[in-house]
Structure 1
């Protein structure tokens, strides 16, 4: 996992000026030829367009729209027994779609992708964290935890953390890197073997200078790259379900915004829509909700397919308005800032109905520091 840490690239390509209608047509056309290797439920969801709405101790993970990355390595934590205090907003209740959990609009969250050995009993995750919010008052507890698929050893599923989170009345989101390939993952060799067998057409440039241990994935399908990636992501999603997670965060799903000079691949907005919708369908097929991570230029188009949004640094880059579509649909936005002080952003993002938190300015995603806005 890697978060998006490090200065965000200033060369991020502006979203292509393609109308939503043109993108939708292109998306449908491409989908018909690229999803043969995916379960029919996923292919159907990806090609049908929007569905009816109802960061081994892990190495750094990526976050923010462009090139920083939060480090995603949640390691199990100890399992104390406190449950969220009354001050914590509800974690949401299942709605339609086979009881898939969909969080309430106001749901306080925690983002911990790096393990703390102090909490080894729960995979390195501090499930009892309680912090005084920027707004003041008593300490409050998160009711949604975004943690890595794996515990601190990098191979054990984070089941212990998930069970401890559930014991406290909270929910757990499973972090998966879907747009770049990290060399410390248990399934890494399958990606490199496929890449070599297909003319080095899968693994692109290093994610960034700060994260040379992961490379941008090619989500095009001229040699079946996207079919292979979705097969691998399905296997990861299956593991999330086995560990008992309630939702999934797919990271690095905005290659089209970065451009070939950054990723090594030419990815169109239509291709990104196909891939992102197929990922959402994978999570839903396993009974889990799904987050749209960043990809702000497509937030409005993808809102019907996703259950909530996770965003890094939209306040710092003056991009938060792009997530209005989720709020209007009654879907929460889980937002984190790293470099900006809570005194600068909390008032504004709280007015937007975001669930905002402040994490470390060095872009690490340990259990602390942790300051929720409310």
Structure 2
């Protein structure tokens, strides 16, 4: 049974009022049957700062990179591919969109029409979701269970910052905190690590409940300092940049990589499609 949003918001408010300090911070208990962890830390995967990675979400998966972690699409990757990577000592993070509807996904028919909002800017085949609807959280918990079944080490739920976008719904800061905390709880209940994707405005509140961060374009938009709560707690920040200036200018790329190293960020320069067409790594 899923935690009602009123109860979950109550948990969030109590948590924030009590302070979100170190990694041993205890989470206030709820009478709800939805599993709320008693501690932030657990046995799930939590990569440390400086962990090397590869991120590929489209095209035939290239498993030949020598890195610590692969971040791959939950639906497109097979259990055999995950095992192949893990047999090489590589951890696997599985990506899915938690805040948007994608019509081509296997579970697309489960989304109620009432929860489908505006089209994502730049992504005409995706629509924002009303994360306040109980059914959406249930679908995402099922996706997290699928990640566990496939053998993923962690999950990367995307589009968890709808409250800062034009979604077609009146989502609040508190709505987003509640939803993101519920995702963390669900992942940890399955023994999976979980990464906070973008959502820079809520890093201070949510860092204690997430095991790493995945970020796009923080250097391009001068936002990387917002991710310091992760690196200060020795949690990996996996950063991808897409600007052509870093792709085409070796000197600019070297400067970027120096900055990334100083800040403890694991930075890649990748194509926006996240296919395997090119890859520049600041670490490996």
With structure 1 as the length reference, what TM-score do the two structures score?
A: 0.64
CA 1:250 to 1:166, structure 2 compared with 1: closer, same or farther past 3 Å? same
Deviation at 1:27, TM superposition (A): 8.0
Which of 350, 357, 363 in structure 1 is aligned with 2:268?
A: 357
1:293 paired to 2:194: no
Partner of 1:86: none
Partner of 1:284: 188
Do the aligned residues in 2 keep the contact of 1:337 with 1:359 (CA within 8 Å)? yes
CA 1:368 to 1:143, structure 2 compared with 1: closer, same or farther past 3 Å? farther
Do the aligned residues in 2 keep the contact of 1:241 with 1:288 (CA within 8 Å)? yes
Runs (5+) with no aligned partner, structure 2:
1-11, 18-30, 247-252
RMSD, matched Cα: 2.1
Partner of 1:108: 52
Deviation at 1:346, TM superposition (A): 1.2
Partner of 2:95: 175
1:142 paired to 2:60: no
1:314 paired to 2:218: yes
Partner of 1:237: 144
Count of residues paired in the alignment: 253
With structure 2 as the length reference, what TM-score do the two structures score?
A: 0.84
Runs (5+) with no aligned partner, structure 1:
1-22, 29-34, 46-50, 55-96, 117-124, 130-140, 152-156
Moved over 6 A (4+): none
- Cα-to-partner distance string for 1:166-222 (whole Å, 9 max, x where unaligned): 01110000101000010000111110xx22xxxx3x1100112x32211100122xx
Deviation at 1:248, TM superposition (A): 0.3
Correspondence 1:144-223 to 2 at 5 A: 144-151=69-76, 158-191=78-111, 194-195=112-113, 200=114, 202-208=115-121, 210-220=122-132
Distance 1:146 1:284 in 2: 18
Deviation at 1:343, TM superposition (A): 3.0
Correspondence 1:34-53 to 2 at 5 A: 40-41=34-35, 44-45=36-37, 52-53=39-40
